[in-house]
């Protein structure tokens, strides 16, 4: 694993807990973690259960005792590490967004395909049992034709103008701001549940244009460094409209300026026969409305998706004994282990990463040109 903070903790925990709940044909062995600061990476390795550490990720790629490279570093490092890993014949899992831009993302997809390694991108929210159950209901036709998706990802952790200029707010490290960070998640959920995008039009804004310099310290916490200020060159908020190939319409809003919303990842989908609603902060529940319910009893019902009928949930606890954020990663890693033992790349994989990146970039292009952008206008390479 390269990197060891927020996502490093989530992934390490998932690898360790996975065999506890799932019987997979291969099991993860936490062989080595890489970080640039020897003191810190050693502490992280000890705490999170890694057998050894390296101070240069390139050493991980060279090691013969490593089969899978897990990338949990900032976005500007994903492409170089993933391509080097694939060229060395190692399987790759990479955090989202896949890359800084579509061109990089396509090079990453090309590298994993050419070298025939298993690949995944870590859109973990797909793996909440309630989201998987939503997918099952849609696939079974229980909602009929889908008309609408409205999805929001609302946070508020940088509203204080003195919150520092961390890597997530610097274009050269992150690519885009709120857009690539959390709009990426809701558009991935939309692709998972509703299908491929046809065209988009968006708007973005940066409310606080200058901040004191600082760095992330784990989770979404940060510390100030003494002295200077720097320019914020990424979006604080991104909102866009979409048409899907199926004819459905989408409304999306992602922001870090929605006071009181700590991690409001929510969607509602309306179809001809019913509707569903989901909210990460109440992630075990799916709200379901079915139009063929008896008159007088119609309305949204709450399904607590903790039963064996709900994908992944049966591996955990008896019905009603709820699970949390970390279990979305365990479920995703279970799919990855199956992919590695059986030789395929489970969804979401680098192809999803490229398609998501194309939507992100199409929205950015629409903001620049103040017009609708068709996904087919986005230049996907010939080998894609």
375 touches 199 (CB < 8 A): yes
- Distance CA(384)–CA(380), nearest Å, equals 6
DSSP annotation string for 288-300: EEETTSPTTS-S-
Least Å distance, CB 170 to ligand NAD, is 12
List the one residue from 15, 60, 73, 268 that touches ligand NAD (CB under 6 A).
73
Least Å distance, CB 222 to ligand NAD, is 9
Residue count, binding to ligand NAD (CB under 6 A) = 22
Q: What is the DSSP letter of 330?
A: H
Neighbours of 327 (CB within 10 A): 24
Least Å distance, CB 90 to ligand NAD, is 16
The first and second tokens of residue 227, run together, are 């002295």
The nearer residue to ligand NAD, 75 or 306, going by C-beta atoms, is 75
Alpha helices in 140-286 (DSSP H): 171-174, 178, 184-193
Q: Is 108 in the site for ligand NAD (CB under 6 A)?
A: no
Residues whose CB is less than 8 angstroms from the CB of residue 250 and which lie 6 or more positions away in sequence, other chains included: 148, 149, 150, 151, 190, 194, 197, 241, 242, 243, 244
The nearer residue to ligand NAD, 216 or 322, going by C-beta atoms, is 216
The first and second tokens of residue 272, run together, are 């001809």
The first and second tokens of residue 352, run together, are 């999803």
Nearest one of 349, 312, 308 to 327, comparing CA atoms: 312
Report whether the peptide linkage leading into residue 323 is cis, meaning its omega lies within 30 degrees of zero.
no
Q: Is 270 in the site for ligand NAD (CB under 6 A)?
A: no
Please list the residues that pair with 274 across neighbouring strands. 290
Least Å distance, CB 7 to ligand NAD, is 3
The nearer residue to ligand NAD, 73 or 255, going by C-beta atoms, is 73
Q: Is 74 in the site for ligand NAD (CB under 6 A)?
A: yes
- Distance CA(183)–CA(150), nearest Å, equals 12
- Distance CA(27)–CA(5), nearest Å, equals 23
Q: Is 2 in the site for ligand NAD (CB under 6 A)?
A: yes
Q: Is 77 in the site for ligand NAD (CB under 6 A)?
A: yes
* Piece of the chain touching ligand NAD by CB under 6 A; list 73-81, 260-268, 309-317, 360-368: 73-81
Beta strand 68-71 pairing with 91-94: parallel
Q: Is 96 in the site for ligand NAD (CB under 6 A)?
A: yes
Q: Is 177 in the site for ligand NAD (CB under 6 A)?
A: no
- Distance CA(20)–CA(160), nearest Å, equals 41
Least Å distance, CB 22 to ligand NAD, is 20
List the one residue from 79, 92, 111, 122 that touches ligand NAD (CB under 6 A).
122
The nearer residue to ligand NAD, 208 or 216, going by C-beta atoms, is 216
Least Å distance, CB 237 to ligand NAD, is 17
Nearest one of 208, 213, 192, 191 to 200, comparing CA atoms: 191
Residues whose CB is less than 8 angstroms from the CB of residue 13 and which lie 6 or more positions away in sequence, other chains included: 48, 326, 329, 330
Alpha helices in 92-128 (DSSP H): 102-114
Q: Is 349 in the site for ligand NAD (CB under 6 A)?
A: no
The residue behind tokens 């004819």 is 247
Least Å distance, CB 128 to ligand NAD, is 12
The nearer residue to ligand NAD, 202 or 214, going by C-beta atoms, is 214
Pattern 190-219, ligand NAD, x by CB under 6 A: --------------------------x-x-
Pattern 15-54, ligand NAD, x by CB under 6 A: --------------------xx------------------
Q: Is 5 in the site for ligand NAD (CB under 6 A)?
A: yes
Contact residues toward ligand NAD (CB under 6 A) are 2-8, 35-36, 57, 72-75, 77, 95-96, 122, 124, 181, 216, 218
């Amino acid at each position: 694993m390269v990197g060891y903070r927020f996502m490093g903790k989530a992934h390490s925990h998932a690898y360790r807990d996975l065999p506890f709940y799932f019987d997979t044909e291969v099991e993860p062995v936490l062989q080595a973690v890489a970080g640039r600061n020897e003191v810190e990476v050693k502490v992280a390795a000890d705490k999170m259960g890694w057998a050894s550490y390296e101070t240069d990720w390139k050493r991980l790629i060279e090691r013969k005792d490593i089969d899978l490279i897990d990338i949990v570093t900032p976005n500007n490092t994903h492409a170089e590490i993933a391509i080097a890993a694939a060229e060395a014949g190692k399987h790759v899992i990479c955090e989202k967004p896949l890359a800084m831009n579509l061109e990089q993302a396509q090079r990453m997809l090309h590298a994993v395909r050419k070298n025939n390694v298993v690949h995944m991108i870590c859109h973990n929210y797909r793996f909440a049992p309630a989201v998987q159950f939503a997918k099952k209901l849609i696939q079974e036709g229980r909602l009929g034709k889908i008309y609408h998706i409205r999805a929001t990802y609302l946070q508020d952790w940088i509203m204080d103008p003195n919150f520092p200029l961390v890597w997530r707010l610097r274009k050269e490290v992150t690519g885009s701001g709120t857009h690539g960070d959390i709009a990426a998640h809701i558009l991935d959920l939309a692709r998972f549940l509703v299908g491929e995008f046809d065209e988009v039009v968006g708007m973005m804004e940066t409310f606080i244009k200058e901040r004191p310099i600082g760095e992330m310290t784990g989770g979404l916490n940060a510390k100030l460094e003494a002295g200077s200020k720097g320019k914020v060159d990424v979006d604080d908020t991104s909102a866009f409209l979409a048409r899907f190939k199926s004819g459905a319409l989408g409304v999306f809003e992602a922001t870090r300026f929605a006071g009181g919303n700590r991690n409001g990842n929510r969607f509602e989908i309306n179809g001809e026969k019913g509707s569903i609603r989901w909210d990460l902060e109440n992630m075990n529940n799916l709200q379901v409305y079915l139009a063929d319910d008896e008159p007088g009893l119609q309305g949204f019902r709450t399904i607590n998706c903790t039963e064996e009928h709900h994908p992944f949930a049966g591996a955990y606890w008896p019905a009603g004994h709820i699970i949390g954020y970390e279990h979305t990663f365990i479920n995703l890693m279970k799919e990855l282990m199956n992919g590695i033992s059986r030789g395929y790349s489970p969804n979401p994989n680098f192809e999803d990463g490229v398609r998501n990146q194309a939507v992100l970039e199409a929205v950015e292009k629409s903001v620049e040109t103040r017009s609708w952008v068709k996904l087919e206008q986005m230049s996907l390479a010939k080998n894609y």
